[in-house]
Structure 1
Amino acid sequence: MARFIRRLFASTGGSVLPIAAASVPVIVALIGGGLDINRVYKARNRLQTACDAGTLAGRRAVTTNGYDTAARNQANAYFNTNFVEGELGATGTTFATASANNGNLISGTASTTVQTAVMNLLGVETIPVSVACSATMGVGNSDITMVLDTTGSMGNTLSGTSQTRIQALRVAMKNFYDTVATATQGSNARIRYSFVPYSSSVNVGRLIYNLNPAYLADTWPIQTREPVFNTITERVFTGWAAPVNTSEQTYSTETIGGTTQYSSTNYSSQAACNSARPADIDWANSGSATTSSSTTTNGAGQQVVTSTTAQPQSKTTYICQRRNNNRWRVDYYNTTRDFITRNYATSDPIYETRTRQEFANWIYREVSNVDTSVYKTFAAVSKPNGSSGAAVSYTWGGCIEERETDATSSISYSSVTGMSPSTALDLDVDLVPDGDAETKWGPMWPELAYYRTTTYWGNTYLTDAVQTSQGSRASSYCPYQAQLLSTMNQSAFYGYADALAAAGSTYHDLGMLWGLRLSSPQGPWADTVNIAPTNGGKVSRHIIFMTDGQMEPSNTIQSSYGIEWHDRRITDDGSSNQAARHTLRFRALCDNAKDKGFRVWVIAFASSLTSDLTYCASSNSSFLATNATQLNSAFQEIAKNVGELRVYQ
């Protein structure tokens, strides 16, 4: 037809009829082509949709077995459901899928042939169509680390309500969980949760110990107090020497009894009476002897054990006495006494010279090598820290002091050079402790923490003296224990939220430090972090940082950086620019988190959304919540982003 048209235009004749006749097939081609092109366009769109649906279904069906037959069949079923040849005038449809990386990315191709409705009059009977498609899992798998401010102000009551801030947080957390669980219900998405409650310390001791006890130091420097004892030398009685035995015998005082008539015979004279008088009866034992014992100390300090035996004796004496009638009669009387035998066991005292320690006073100073080797195992350890230096038993609560750092005013993070300076080992979230003591963490020992003071004109002040005779117990706060990434049912999640308690000062850098450290794919807990989900999909990582206040470190409490007034691990003098330097660390850690691919969400609750908090957050990821309703809304907005199963093509 093309040659015909060219000949027609080349002709110089003036006939109109041939021209009109020649126009008919052109018009048919134009109109019919438009109709058939629309059919092809519709078929191609449906083919693309079916191809997409098939690869999406295949990717969703991937398990640890990779892209196996079951997953492939699922892809084919979805394709066939979405592309019906009869509805589109198509024939010879094919759909093929494959994966080069064990199911992480599913690639597909689809082709079909569309029959023409008009163009076949011109010899064009079919038009081939082909498309390509691919699918991979996106945010369906999420690791969510909640870094939660549980400082003392979280116990404050919200304005106009009877609800405390931490109670509102618990409610918002639970609603967050329910929203995410609902969004992923019926999918194979994996959602894991990690928690880092923070205040002036973090409770990660059990996690470190379970990972490797050697990562905790066996000795640690502590600003503390020690008892001073005076040595007292004494002679101490220890017993008695073998006794020396002696004895003596004696009589008691004699006792003369009353006179008794011997007989009723009367005599006319004394001589006659004496002749009739019986002979006297001499001394003789009378009755049973009695024995007694006593122990005394004599004037020489000797112990004398006296055993006394008393034997009663008596004698009878006969006498003649004249009566009123001048007649004589025989009478008698008895005399009694005791025959006494005393045995003496005399012992000398035995003395030893001994020394003892008597409490004198306390001294307050740093002890650079407090033994923590048993304390770090969560076993009870006794220390002379009670009244007058008495031994008291302590058990570790799980909060830690940070490893070696650098008290510098210049802290920053770069995706090229990393954390600077490199001497701030505490800020290296991926550094695994080794044999170097500077890389290890120390168990925080709250009961031993004391700061030093001095008194001037009746007022007590902090002092930087190395040692003093006066001081005060440092406040110390240990939040609820942190948790590694793990899947959680509703009961477990709710239980964790309910266990949160409010106490302590605000150290944002500590919260971000450990939220990132526990969740870093390159950190000490990388084996846990990098557990692959059974669906084989990618994992999106989120840190939700919630606080109700600004950075408010204290230099007199015991924090994860010791007692900063004395330890000076952050500042040069224990106080100047303390909050500013902690804030620099916080910002650097936020940079590190975002560089690692975490989406950092920040919620400022019942406080201002400061420039530092905004800086920390990822783009479009910060919220200001002035009340419980807004706090819940912020968590819900985050939940809709991290919990929704999405598939990217």
Structure 2
Amino acid sequence: MSPVTRLVYALLRSRSGNILPLAAGAIFAVAALIGGAIDISRGWRVQTRLQAACDAGVLAGRKAVTTKGFDAAAEASAASYFNANFDPDQFSAKDTVFDPSSADRGSTIDAVATTYLPPLLMQIFGFGDMEVTTRCTASMGVGNSDIMLVLDTTGSMSSLLSGSTQTRIQALRASMKSFYTTIETAVSGTNARVRYGFVPYSSSVNVGHLLVDLNPEYLVDSWVIQSRKPIYKSVQTFTGYGTPTNGAPVATTTNPTYSSWSNYNSTTYLSSGSCNAQKPADTAWSNNGVATTTSTTTINGSGQQVVTTTTSQPQTATLYGCNISFLSYRLQSRTGTRQSVTTVTSTANAQYVTTQVFDKWEYRPVTYDTSHYKQFESVSTNTGDNAAAVSSRWKGCIEERSTVSEDAFTWSSVTGMTPAGAEDLDIDGAPDGSPGTKWAPMWPEVVYIRTTISFGTVYMNSALPSATGQQAASYCPSPAQLFSSMNQAAFYAYADALVPEGGTYHDIGMVWGARLSSPDGMWSGHVRDAPDNGGEVSRHLIFMTDGEMAPSYSIQSAWGVEYHDRRVTDDGVTHDTERHNSRFLALCNQVKAKGIRVWVIAFAQAMTPQLQACASDSSAFTAANASQLDTAFQSIAKQVGELRVVQ
């Protein structure tokens, strides 16, 4: 028993009338009341501060949870925040213990915080240290969320990360999967709806199937494309000769030859007259033996075929004469032979077929019928080698709607897009039937650039038409996807299908991420589809890129072949990057004005002023490597989620 207590008991037992001890006892009673009030007040202050520190600790611990669960790093983060919010020395507390734990791999963080507070005044009355204990719990739950991932899948994403064997696209796939796991863990066991949309982009976007499903008439039926046109020449091909025309037969005979005279009989005559009186008449020429026929073929000066057919018939004839022989006349005969020749000449005109044969290419804009191509049908064009037919089928990438060539664009909620007339920057407007408000299918198989060669170097050529050219490079990323609830297998499969190729056009990625996310646009019915739980939907657009804006004037992009088509610039080259950046920022501002939070991740590159300006407040991240990329996605996932104290 303390001295003060013994004194109080002694005073209580005393029956003397001394008032001074009574007054002293009253003082101690009052002191006990005041001291108790002070220490109780201190206890409440400590408990309030301890509770706040406990809450801060579990919130920080839950925020630090990764796919590894509530690991040592997360526990250290929780302890650090607790210690930062509770200083035992400030309250003269001691033996403070903060014990966080998780029974569900970090989905919920529980903690008990305990400290001991020595009393200031009540210790003179025998009271010991006061134990102050609080309990706290934090969890992260995701409400209804629509998350659009606009992903740079340009060729540089195939590059290896510095000091690593992992490519950038591989790191992106892994971070996407961790992001999904974090979000889905947060909604597990709740009725919250989370939908994911995707717009992979490079020099265009693959949205053709979405447009056709919405309305095929949103795509043009004909389109002028920088291409090449075959030039043909007429060639006559000899096919033979026509029906011959026979000339009149020409009959001739050869000069006859005769045998020697021989006695016709044994009679002799004394005079010529008596001999001639007995002489028979000469026989006529008559056929003797088999006729022979020969033919010769020649080509005359007119190109006609001349066939000469000659038939030779042997003929004989007998001639009689009286010839003197030894003073008398004898009757003699001899045989003559000749050829009776009949010649027939026929002529036939040469026959030719005139055909059109490929001669050369003329490189120029060509109007193509796209009515079947836009329906994903196989279409044949004479654009192969020597104008051979080539079949092609649309992959789904598009060329943008009409635009205006201006240095700068701005957007405000009052005036909208300035300058006006840029259909390609219109997020919400649907085509009205005029060609300028429609999109065109990107047709890489028929796109050619015009070139010229100087000292062995190939340059772009603005001449129209051009005799030289080459096929333009054209790239088409993976198909975009509308908002959809996805299981793990579907999400992972989409991430694994991303292919890196093409140039960096941030504006085409942003405008289509906006179009698919906008609650006021062409897909507004789908975007505004109410969740079954009836709650509000938070809207997010995550824009990830590994490079600065880098348009190329010589490839086919969403704005055609920029050097030739000149839709963005006046000459196809000057200030092209600056103009695309201006368009990009105007689009970013329009998206943010719709209540969509824009998150930007600059991966393996510095955060450019344009990317920083595009992001919503406190929503820009720089990731130099795979670990930092994963951290950025995790940070976004945790901010998409609703981190809150449960207890």
Corresponding position: 1:361 with 2:360: yes
1:220-619 aligned within 5 A: 220-237=223-240, 353-367=352-366, 369-619=367-617
Distance 1:491 1:238, change over 3 A: farther
Q: Find the aligned partners of 2:298 and 2:469 in 1 and give their Cα distance.
A: 52
Q: Assess, with a 3 A threshold, how the Cα gap between structure 1 residues 195 and 297 changes in structure 2: closer, same or farther.
A: farther
Paired positions, count: 425
Shift of 1:457: 4.4
SS at match of 2:182: helix
1:472 and 1:413 map into 2 onto residues whose CA distance is: 39
Aligned residue number for residue 163 of structure 2: 160
**Sequence identity (%):** 56
Separation (CA, whole Å) in 1 of partners of 2:506 and 2:208: 19
Aligned partners of 1:302 and 1:348 also within 8 Å? yes
Name 1:151's counterpart in structure 2: 154
The separation in 2 between residues aligned to 1:646 and 1:463, in whole angstroms, is 62
3-state SS of 2:172 partner: helix
CA distance in structure 2 between the aligned counterparts of 1:483 and 1:588, rounded to whole angstroms? 24
Alignment gaps of 5+ in structure 1: 1-30, 39-137, 244-295, 304-346
| Equivalence for 2:222 | 219
State the secondary structure of the residue aligned to 1:354.
strand
Cα distance in structure 2, aligned partners of 1:589 and 1:148? 16
8 A Cα contact 1:140 1:645, kept in partner = no
Contact 1:194 1:486 in 2 (8 A): yes
CA distance, structure 2, for counterparts of residue 645 and residue 352 of structure 1: 90
Gaps of 5+ in 2: 1-33, 42-140, 247-294, 300-304, 308-345
Letter matched to residue 415 of structure 1: S
Give how far 1:239 is off.
Answer: 8.8
* SS of residue in 1 equivalent to 2:358: strand
> In structure 2, how many angstroms separate the alpha carbons of the residues matched to 1:198 and 1:174?
19
Secondary structure of 1:146 counterpart: strand
Work out whether residues 189 and 645 of structure 1, in 8 Å CA contact, stay in contact via their aligned partners in 2. Answer: no
Matches within 5 A, 1:117-196: 140-196=143-199
Cα deviation for residue 377 of structure 1 reads 0.7
Contact 2:568/2:579, CA 8 A, preserved across alignment: yes
What is the identity, as a one-letter code, of the residue corresponding to 1:593?
Answer: V
Shift of 1:472: 1.7
Report if aligned partners of 1:364, 1:451 keep a CA contact under 8 Å in 2.
yes
Contact 2:506 2:584 in 1 (8 A): yes
Q: Alpha-carbon deviation of 1:465?
A: 1.3
**SS state of the match for residue 591, structure 2?**
helix
Change (3 A) 1:646 1:224: farther
Encode CA deviations 1:205-261: one digit per residue, 9 max, x unaligned: 111111111001001111111111101234434998999xxxxxxxxxxxxxxxxxx
After superposition, the Cα gap between the structure-2 partners of 1:210 and 1:297, relative to the gap in structure 1 and judged at 3 Å, is: farther
Is the CA contact 1:139–1:539 (under 8 Å) kept in the aligned structure 2?
no
Change (3 A) 1:399 1:647: farther
State the alpha-carbon separation in 1 of the partners of residues 635 and 242 from structure 2: 83
Residue 451 of structure 1: CA displacement? 1.2
Instruction: Using structure 1 for the length normalisation, give the TM-score.
Output: 0.62
Q: 1: distance between equivalents of 2:458 and 2:605?
A: 34
**3-state SS of 1:472 partner:** strand
CA contact (8 A) 1:140 1:646 kept: no
Match for 1:199 among 197, 202, 215?
Answer: 202
More deviation in 454-463 or 169-178?
A: 454-463
SS of the counterpart of 1:382? strand
DSSP-derived class of the 1:454 partner: strand
Q: For the residues of structure 2 that align with 1:516 and 1:478, how far apart are their CA atoms?
A: 19
Aligned-partner Cα distance in 2 for 1:185–1:224: 54
**2:148 and 2:513 in contact (8 A); partners too:** yes
CA–CA distance in structure 1, aligned partners of residues 483 and 143 of structure 2:
16
Query: Could you tell me which amino acid in structure 2 is paired with residue 164 of structure 1?
Result: T
- Amino acid in the other structure paired with 2:222: T
Give the match's secondary structure for 2:383. coil
Is contact 2:428-2:521 (8 Å) kept? yes
* Distance apart, 1:647 and its partner CA: 12
Q: 2: distance between equivalents of 1:179 and 1:393?
A: 45
* TM-score between both structures, scaled by the size of structure 2: 0.62
Structure-2 separation of matches of 1:196 and 1:239:
68
CA distance in 2: counterparts of 1:450 and 1:504, whole angstroms: 17
| Pairwise CA RMSD | 3.2
Partners of 2:642 and 2:349 in 1: how far apart?
A: 87
C-alpha deviation, 1:499, in angstroms = 0.1
- 2:19 aligns with none
Q: Relative to 1, partners in 2 of residues 1:576 and 1:236: Cα closer, same or farther, differing over 3 Å?
A: same
Superposed displacement of residue 170, structure 1: 0.2
> Relative to 1, partners in 2 of residues 1:576 and 1:297: Cα closer, same or farther, differing over 3 Å?
farther
- Any idea what the Cα deviations from partners look like across 1:495-550, whole Å, max 9, x if unmatched? 00000011111001111010001111111111211111111111110000000010
Give the Å deviation of 1:455: 2.9
Contact 2:222 2:369 (8 Å CA) reproduced? yes
Contact 1:184–1:645 (Cα < 8 Å) also in 2: no
Specify the code of the residue in structure 2 equivalent to 1:575: V
Check whether the contact 2:408–2:583 (CA below 8 A) recurs between aligned residues: no
Structure 1 residues 426 and 299: CA distance shift in structure 2, 3 A = same
Residues 564-594 of structure 1 show CA distances to partners (whole Å, capped at 9, x for unaligned) of: 0011111111101000000000100100010
